[in-house]
Structure 1
């Protein structure tokens, strides 16, 4: 089990970066074959507008709800002693394919500019079932600033089931990827669940998983759909083993089932908008997150969020951040008052709509933050746009004809910065890819 204190080792990930230049050459050749002449020119969104009034920040308050410890202990007593990330990685039964083994159709989803330094597609056993779609990614670079969790470099990716029978529609799972060897990434699955009946059973997290951040020993996941917009919290030291293979989710005759998966992650807490729900009428006024990322360039570290605003909606999109708690007894949880209320530290309005990936990063402690916003390609697919925006203006990479900004991936995946290696990880289509933040900055001038 990982010690909960901070480790300040500053390993620079030489082995990981060593493969970047060679792999980037191959991916550059693939990317130039991708059509960079599709989609439309995106208008310059201009500068971010700070929202500084107490009323505006007050609309972004969250209410923390903890699952009682007795419920989690009761579930663990019935299912068996919980395990950690290392035990799950040791059970890996899938292998990510390197870019050379991915199909042209899969690689077509990769960014045109800047080009991915390395990329992977999922095991064919998981790409045949097209109803499962990946949307979120986080890494052990988020979990701890030395880039490792225990002895491992790890990537987590959240997937949602968008079709099939009523029993499986909306289920959410997480790929636990062993990234120790960049030439051979292996993984296995865990199902996200919610304890019920005071820990005597659990149900599936029936929701679209749109954002994900792993901080210390907690995994924070944005949800929408049946669960409505919320942040669910999972303890990565509380992974449980399912011992019955079947389609059911929960307690069954003979033990515990997780829709065929061997591992289960039970929620330990959730955060919901204090100002009400997230229907269309309330969406612009409440804290309704879609994208998530971690910003280690603030003090304390902060959780960055973007709102769920459709690309065709005429309203502006809200960006904001919350501080993580510095209390050792609340590792991985947000800073909250005695009543469990979480307050946003800062917020902005942006004219960029259809945001799926959000990242905030300061080049130096005294610099203003740069916000990187991944705009989705829209209903008809193609390539999206990656904007860098601050309070002075906005910039996006150009590709193809002058003024075209549809150069990023499909824009459907979250953004995660791995501080140890300087890489940004994201998803596009069924591709998992990484590239140095410095190459993104160069492409944006």
Structure 2
């Protein structure tokens, strides 16, 4: 029976890959016709401009603020012994759909070029009233691509609506990716301890940036009044004991807005510049630097008169500070490299081997996004044609770029579609 099950998965895997190839051909034809009819032009942003002066880099430094250990201990004493990623994965009861089972509208979120080599869709009922955000994987967490025995994908979502509707609450799907033919997941609510650890509140964040490095998860909280990068310990997952829409301590135990699990913050990094200054909107991990580094970018509107910025911080090499950024004696993380880019409207950022990749969402749902690769020499975009200007070949609204170095794949998601494409394919599509 096990052999027959494996053969069925292999056969379905081949069918999905063939289906994705056919989908890419159809999307390419559609994109070429749209480009030819609308004569869409995407301005080349040119080369990156290095920022080296203290006036440019000092405002980007972060101040580390760790939650007191007694606060964390008090919360865990009240909620029960913390657990880890494996326990969450063991409770995964929901499945993502393979691309072949996605709707045509969901598949339209896939990039035209390069072709996605893996794609999955979230359940519409399970994600209704939630907005997709960043993606990170166990490929970020450890260089062997696994967390313990598991391959894992983390997908962030934030609740839409007003504060009265719990708008802005952030949750993360812990996806078991051991079997690429069947991805299952469970929800974990992101939280922040309050009242000295006697309670917790939900994190209010759009989660446009998220990186899992070693045993820490770094999450952006911007545009919601929380302007910071929050830090979570992946070994401090807590169980919710009451299934309700409330968040925090309730009669009879602890509630996490319907999620079975809670992840309380263990610290944060906050900007030290003036209010309204540049702050990290998007994050990714770069394993090609020594030490490994956290990459950040800010989002700049196409109507703004300033350029967007890209920069990085080093991670600490101290075993006692696993997963935390390198800091000086006063607790500041300083920028180790920074640039300006003339690519307004871009957000998701990835850096690898001195190349910077920037994704720009479409201006409307009827258009496609653009993916640029920039360095000190110039810029190139993925293309899906030769004659007409067909740079608008990327996903319609991808929210993240996360490189899984062990597999060579870049993961992202747009709408209810989670997908991956090899980094080498991105480079080959650059013309």
TM-score interval, smaller chain: over 0.9
**Structure-to-structure mapping, 1:165-244, within 5 angstroms:** 166-244=164-242
Counterpart of 1:404 (choices 390, 414, 425) is 390
* Correspondence for 1:419: 405
Shift of the 254–414 alpha-carbon distance from structure 1 to 2, 3 Å rule, reads same
Matched, 1:325 2:316: yes
* Correspondence for 1:56: 56
* Correspondence for 1:73: 73
* Correspondence for 2:42: 42
- Structure 2: where are the runs of 5+ without partners? 1-8
* Correspondence for 1:354: 345
Larger mean CA deviation between 243-252 and 178-187 belongs to 243-252
1:277-311 CA-partner distances (Å, limit 9, x unpaired): 2x2xx33xxxx011110000000000000112123
Is the partner of 1:439 in helix, strand or coil? Answer: helix
* Correspondence for 1:261: 259
Work out whether residues 306 and 358 of structure 1, in 8 Å CA contact, stay in contact via their aligned partners in 2.
yes
Work out whether residues 160 and 172 of structure 1, in 8 Å CA contact, stay in contact via their aligned partners in 2.
yes
* Correspondence for 2:6: none
Is the partner of 1:339 in helix, strand or coil? Answer: coil
Is the partner of 2:281 in helix, strand or coil? Answer: strand
Q: Which contiguous aligned blocks of 4+ residues in structure 1 show a shift greater than 3 angstroms?
A: 16-25
Tell me how far apart the structure 1 counterparts of residues 184 and 111 of structure 2 sit (CA, whole Å).
24
Per-residue deviation, 1:18 = 12
* Correspondence for 2:297: 306
Tell me how far apart the structure 1 counterparts of residues 12 and 429 of structure 2 sit (CA, whole Å).
20
Is the partner of 1:289 in helix, strand or coil? Answer: coil
- Structure 1: where are the runs of 5+ without partners? 1-15, 363-368
Per-residue deviation, 1:353 = 1.5
Q: TM-score, normalised by structure 2?
A: 0.92
* Correspondence for 1:11: none
Work out whether residues 16 and 100 of structure 2, in 8 Å CA contact, stay in contact via their aligned partners in 1.
no
Shift of the 414–17 alpha-carbon distance from structure 1 to 2, 3 Å rule, reads farther
Tell me how far apart the structure 1 counterparts of residues 102 and 114 of structure 2 sit (CA, whole Å).
19
Is the partner of 1:344 in helix, strand or coil? Answer: coil
Is the partner of 2:76 in helix, strand or coil? Answer: helix
Cα RMSD of the aligned pairs, angstroms, is 1.9
Matched, 1:30 2:23: yes
Work out whether residues 294 and 315 of structure 2, in 8 Å CA contact, stay in contact via their aligned partners in 1.
yes
1:102-126 CA-partner distances (Å, limit 9, x unpaired): 0001001110111101100013432
Per-residue deviation, 1:214 = 0.2
Tell me how far apart the structure 1 counterparts of residues 370 and 177 of structure 2 sit (CA, whole Å).
28
1:333-380 CA-partner distances (Å, limit 9, x unpaired): 000012111100010000111222110011xxxxxx010101111244
Is the partner of 1:208 in helix, strand or coil? Answer: coil
1:357-416 CA-partner distances (Å, limit 9, x unpaired): 110011xxxxxx010101111244531100001000000022256222110002431101
Aligned length: 415
Tell me how far apart the structure 1 counterparts of residues 325 and 117 of structure 2 sit (CA, whole Å).
33
1:172-201 CA-partner distances (Å, limit 9, x unpaired): 000000000000000010001100000000
Work out whether residues 16 and 98 of structure 2, in 8 Å CA contact, stay in contact via their aligned partners in 1.
no
* Correspondence for 1:373: 358
* Correspondence for 2:130: 132
Work out whether residues 139 and 155 of structure 1, in 8 Å CA contact, stay in contact via their aligned partners in 2.
yes
Shift of the 360–141 alpha-carbon distance from structure 1 to 2, 3 Å rule, reads same
* Correspondence for 1:428: 414
Per-residue deviation, 1:164 = 6.0
Q: TM-score, normalised by structure 1?
A: 0.90
1:224-270 CA-partner distances (Å, limit 9, x unpaired): 13343310110000000010111110101111111111100101111
> Larger helix proportion, structure 1 or 2?
2
1:190-229 CA-partner distances (Å, limit 9, x unpaired): 0011000000000011121111000000000011133433
Work out whether residues 204 and 226 of structure 2, in 8 Å CA contact, stay in contact via their aligned partners in 1.
no
Work out whether residues 82 and 236 of structure 2, in 8 Å CA contact, stay in contact via their aligned partners in 1.
yes
